Amino acid sequence: MARFFWIFAFVVLGCGSDVAQTAFRPSVSPPFDCEPASEPVTLPSEPALGGGDSLSTSPLIGDTYGAGLGPGIALVARDGFRLYQNDELVAEDTASLVPKFVPLTFLPGDNVVSVVVSSRDRAPALLVHIDELERPYLSDAAWKVTTAPDGDFRSPGYDASGWDDAVDHGAGCEPAPGFVPGSGAHWIGTPDENARTAVFRLAIRIAPTGFGAATTGGEGTAPVLARDAEELALLLEDDAPGVILVPEGHLDFRRPVSEALIENACPLACDDGSGKITYVALSDLQTCDEPTRPIPRDERHLTLRSNKTVVGLGRGATLQGTWLSITDAENVILRNIAIYDVNPEIIEAGDGVGIERASRIWLDHVTFRWIGDGFVDVTDVMGQASDITLSWIHFDGNSEFACAEHHPRANEISGASVTIHHSFYDHVTGRAPLANRAPARVHLFNNLVSDNPDYAVGAACGAEILLEESLFESVSFPTLRRDCPDDASLGKIFAPEGSNEYDASTGSHQLSGADSPEPRDMVVPPAYDYVLDDALDARDTVRDRAGAGAHWGLPFALDRRF
């Protein structure tokens, strides 16, 4: 959609496959033959159509779930087919109308799904449902088709603009069990009814929007599978560019009990009248008025180097007890990862991800829970941390160790340019997010903040925030603007009129400790293109799709060792 801003008079535009995929479906072309073929088809032998290709053994192909239960490609061809993801042959079959599902992880960057379909006595047709973390891609007229391919159509760099639009046959016939239940995919075919072989193709780009749009990670390098926690640690800290694949499921990074460090933490009573005590790690300059309590801490602190893409496979990788730092680095992607159990009993005892003096960083579909300090902290001076995007993040603040069981340090951004969109701030106290210190510029859109007993979006001491199409549920103060003890500059927030939604249990906006109208401060608008969803869509879409594995994310739990 396009949106005009009254103060800035600039236009937000969207482009790419997302727009094409969400367009209206054209009228269908009846009739459609649902009868199975009388005998198996012979697939073409020409190398240009995949003759002689061997099935891929890529680690991107999984085997732990079925259709509709995780990312992948479900396909039903009316006749025989070869299915490619980029240059890899991931499935083929000569039977008619037999569903096939390939559990598949898509890497950031350009992805192409292409299908060679052959028939004995009728024009080829197929039904495809692609599940990706952010959204499904369904077969319809947005697909391209040709009966005479030339060149390597499987390559993402191939130009298919001269191909025909696929013919949309509508629902056609119901696929047999094994396809994605309830899929809205349409049967598609070729305009040439005399054809007996056709190639269908859809290009999908998985890339950041916003300040971090130029982030490419280790794109162009061969993916390497980290088989265990030790191997992953070595790959993360290697200086060479790389694409690192993390196995679906659990990796434990905690140090052995015998190697745990003792933190003499200061007890701090919660101010909610509950009598609950939390514990704070002390810096070298801090003292405690009460006797400290010795608490073991067993996290492993790892540094993620430049030009890296780190992707959890399938329904996501869950990393226990690891604190990742991206410091003095650039061009890093972290995707489909859950980070949890970093000293949750001790405040100020390790972040989930800490970003400092870094640029071109993209965190996408990441879950954080049970973290001692910030889920994601971006810290810098003089704006050296820049061009960062956080998208589809689940900041899960449910914590039995925190006051009121709400995590108090979700997301702080200091002096950096950051875009945060389609993210879920869930049971946190404040900092959803907090931006402080000029020249911080933060763009927030299509986020959901739910059950926050303090402020949500905070701007302090000269930081600027543009807040759009976000939803606030049961939040005491949706926005807060204030200065800092050492800086009298107020933070600035611009919330376009009618853009954001506040439910009946959400309180007033705050300016320097007093109630205020929705903020309309002058801020510098972002110069990039982006697409806005309606704020009310966040209630379901962000809950459903944010975090590692999206709605297929694997469960994880604490196992206390002390």
Residues 302 and 378 in one domain: yes
In this structure, the answer to whether residues 243 and 142 fall within a common structural domain is no
Contact assessment for residue 52 and residue 86, using Cβ atoms and an 8 Å cutoff: no
Query: Residue 159's pLDDT is what?
Result: 96
CATH number of the domain that residue 51 is part of: 2.60.120
DSSP state of 48: G
Average pLDDT estimate for 522-545: 96
Kindly state whether residues 535 and 412 are assigned to the same domain. Answer: yes
In a shared domain, residues 106 and 250:
no
Same domain (yes/no): 182, 319: no
Domain identity same for 306 and 430: yes
Instruction: Answer yes or no: is 47 within a domain.
Output: yes
Q: Is 283 inside a domain boundary?
A: no
Confidence of residue 385 (pLDDT cuts 50, 70, 90): confident
Distance CA 314, CA 58 (A): 13
Binning pLDDT at 50, 70 and 90, where does residue 380 land?
confident
User: Whole-angstrom distance between the N-terminal and C-terminal Cα of the chain?
Assistant: 53
Domain with residue 450: its CATH number is 2.160.20.10
Which residues have a Cβ under 8 Å from the Cβ of 340 and sit 6 or more positions away? 318, 319, 320, 367, 368, 369, 370, 371, 556, 558
Mean pLDDT, to the nearest integer, of 311-331?
A: 97
Number of domains observed in the structure of the chain: 2
> pLDDT category, 34, cuts 50, 70, 90?
confident
User: Per-residue DSSP letters for 249-284?
Assistant: EEEE-PPPGGGPEEEEEEEEE-TTSS--EEEE---T
- Which token pair is 158? 């191939």
Tokens of 285: 């300059």
Write down the mean pLDDT value for the chain: 93
Does 289 fall in a domain? Answer: no
Range of the domain at 70: 3-206
Identify residue 103 by its one-letter amino acid code. Answer: P
Q: Which phi and psi angles does 134 have, rounded to 5°?
A: -80, -35
Q: CB neighbours of 31 closer than 8 A, spacing ≥ 6?
A: none
pLDDT of residue 384: 66
Q: How confident is the model at residue 382 (pLDDT cuts 50, 70, 90)?
A: low
Instruction: Indicate the pLDDT class of residue 21, thresholds 50, 70 and 90.
Output: very low
Query: Rounded CA gap, 306 and 537, in Å?
Result: 35
CA dihedral 498, 503, 506, 511 (to 10 degrees): 0
pLDDT for res 399: 97
Distances from the Cα of 415 to the Cαs of 360, 395, 412, 491, in angstroms? 15, 21, 10, 12
Report the predicted TM-score, pTM, of the whole model to 2 decimal places: 0.93
Structure tokens at 9: 């008079």
Evaluate whether 310 touches 546 at the Cβ level (below 8 Å): no
Specify the amino acid at residue 545: R
Judge whether residue 6 has pLDDT over 90: no
Please give the pLDDT value at position 383: 59
For residue 26, what pLDDT is reported?
45
Task: Please determine, for residue 301, whether its predicted confidence score (pLDDT) is greater than 50.
Answer: yes
What pLDDT was estimated at residue 19?
Answer: 35
Q: pLDDT grade, residue 386 (50/70/90)? A: confident
pLDDT in tens, 93-137: 999 999 999 999 999 999 999 999 999 989 999 999 999 999 999
Q: Is residue 351 part of a domain?
A: yes
Give tens-digit pLDDT for 215-252: 999 999 999 999 999 999 999 999 999 999 999 999 99
Please give the pLDDT value at position 284.
86
Residue 261, domain member (yes or no): no
Cα distance between residue 160 and residue 112, in whole Å:
11
Q: 9 pLDDT band (50/70/90 cuts)? A: very low
Task: Tell me the C-alpha distance between 561 and 193, whole Å.
Answer: 67
What is the CA angle 434-305-559, rounded to 5?
A: 65
Percent of the chain with pLDDT over 70: 94
Comparing CA positions, the residue from 373, 209, 385 lying closest to residue 297 is 373
Q: What is the mean pLDDT of residues 300-316?
A: 98
Residue 286 lies in a domain: no
Q: How far is CA 159 from CA 25, 144, 148, in A?
A: 24, 11, 14
Indicate if the pLDDT at residue 20 is higher than 60.
no
Three-state DSSP at 354 gives: strand
Domain shared by 376 and 476, yes or no: yes
Query: Do 335 and 372 share a domain, yes or no?
Result: yes
* Mean pLDDT in residue range 163-168: 97
Boundary (domain end) residue, out of 206, 237, 268: 206
> How many CA within 13 A on the CB side of residue 182?
3
Evaluate whether residue 542 is within a structural domain. yes
Task: Please check whether residue 212 lies inside any domain of the structure.
Answer: no
Residues 377 and 245 in one domain: yes
* 305 and 168 together in one domain: no
Min mean pLDDT across 21-35, 218-232, 445-459 is at 21-35
With beta carbons less than 8 A apart as the criterion, state whether 497 and 3 touch: no
Helix (H) or strand (E) holding 233: helix 229-236
Q: Residue 35 — very low, low, confident or very high, per pLDDT cuts 50/70/90?
A: confident
Q: How far apart are CA 381 and CA 530, in angstroms?
A: 27
- What per-residue confidence (pLDDT) applies to 178? 95
- CA angle, 202 then 314 then 392, to 5°: 80
**pLDDT exceeding 90 applies to what percent of the chain?**
88
pLDDT of 420 reads 98
Give yes or no: residues 462 and 430 share one domain. Answer: yes
Same domain (yes/no): 164, 307: no
